[in-house]
Amino acid sequence: MNEKRIFRCFVFSLLVVSLTLSLFSKKTINESVWTDNPVIVDGKNADWQDVQPLEKEKLKIDYAFKNDNNYLYVLFTFKDFKFLSSLSSSGITLWLNSKGKKKKRYGIKFLRRMITADHFIAILEKQHGPIPEDKKAEIKKKNAYTIYQNGVVNKNSETVIPIKVASAQAPAFKTAQGPGTMTFEFRVPLQNEEGKIVGIGTTPGAEIAVAFEWGGMTPEVKAMLTKKHGTRRGRSSKGGVSESIPGSSEMESGGSIRTGGGTRTQYPRSAIPKKYIVWEFIKLAEKK
């Protein structure tokens, strides 16, 4: 009798553990919204009035997803500029996992830059060849230009691979600023075409994982801090703190940056910009 009772207790314990693990592992999957009309990527929300955005109240951001047969469209809005961190130099990376897992497998870094007229001319000539002098003079009437760049990244490398496909097929993004807000609008191809690496590799109806990552230490921020505060080498210290935010979000901050030789370059802790990453699980819509 005692052996039977022990066996029953053992089986019951296994069931409890299994149920507990399944409850903790359950993830929330949000649904994208189908669109019959391609979204105009202009950084504005005119094409998004029919979508209820997802919110991360602690970070004062919201975002929404649409798709058609060819593209995933994303609207992402900051409602408090203090959470921009070093976004102007870090850009936003969209991590896109076609297996629906919270892992950085494939990402596209989107970066908006302000450049001089001369730099703008150099870029145009590299892309399209020599520019006539009268056209250069026309361009130089403006002191600065905004350019939008994107490239493929992976978790194991900081190298950004420029995307070279026809503009109608390429990822795209634009930004727009309103009273107390900054909005980003993205377009990412769903399919991978032969010889190209810009698509997610998925189809309508599939489940994917999407992460937004921005901020943190960048070469531009590091150069600015070095100039402002100087540096000193020392023994390795704890590299900062990490705070977990409900909803698969993270913030990181710290007071030192690891350099070559196992040492760290020390900066005032308050000067290190925070790095953010926010994950969501999305089911792509299918045409009804």
- Could you tell me the pTM of the whole model? 0.76
Which distant-in-sequence residues (6+ apart) come within 8 Å of 272 by Cβ? 217, 240, 253, 254, 255, 257
Which distant-in-sequence residues (6+ apart) come within 8 Å of 232 by Cβ? 265, 266
E strands, 87-156, are: 92-97, 107-116, 144-154
Structure tokens at 30: 């949000």
Which distant-in-sequence residues (6+ apart) come within 8 Å of 133 by Cβ? none
Contact 85, 276 (CB under 8 A): yes
The pLDDT assigned to 257 comes to 42
The pLDDT assigned to 76 comes to 98
Residue 161 CA, distance from chain mean position: 16
How far is residue 217's CA from residue 181's CA, in Å, rounded to a whole number?
23
Identify the segments of the chain with pLDDT beneath 70: 1-26, 156-158, 164-168, 193-197, 229-270
Contact 97, 202 (CB under 8 A): no
Residue 213 CA, distance from chain mean position: 4
Give pLDDT tens digits for 137-170. 999 999 899 888 888 887 766 677 777 666 667 8
Contact 229, 114 (CB under 8 A): no
**Amino acid identity at 41:** V
The pLDDT assigned to 197 comes to 63
The pLDDT assigned to 244 comes to 26
Structure tokens at 96: 């896109």
The pLDDT assigned to 157 comes to 61
Neighbours of 106 (CB within 10 A): 20
The single-letter DSSP state of residue 8 is: H
H or E segment and range at residue 16: helix 2-25
The pLDDT assigned to 153 comes to 86
Domains and CATH numbers, the chain: 28-109+155-216+280-288 (2.60.40.1190), 217-272 (no CATH)
Contact 280, 210 (CB under 8 A): yes
Contact 65, 29 (CB under 8 A): no
The pLDDT assigned to 3 comes to 61
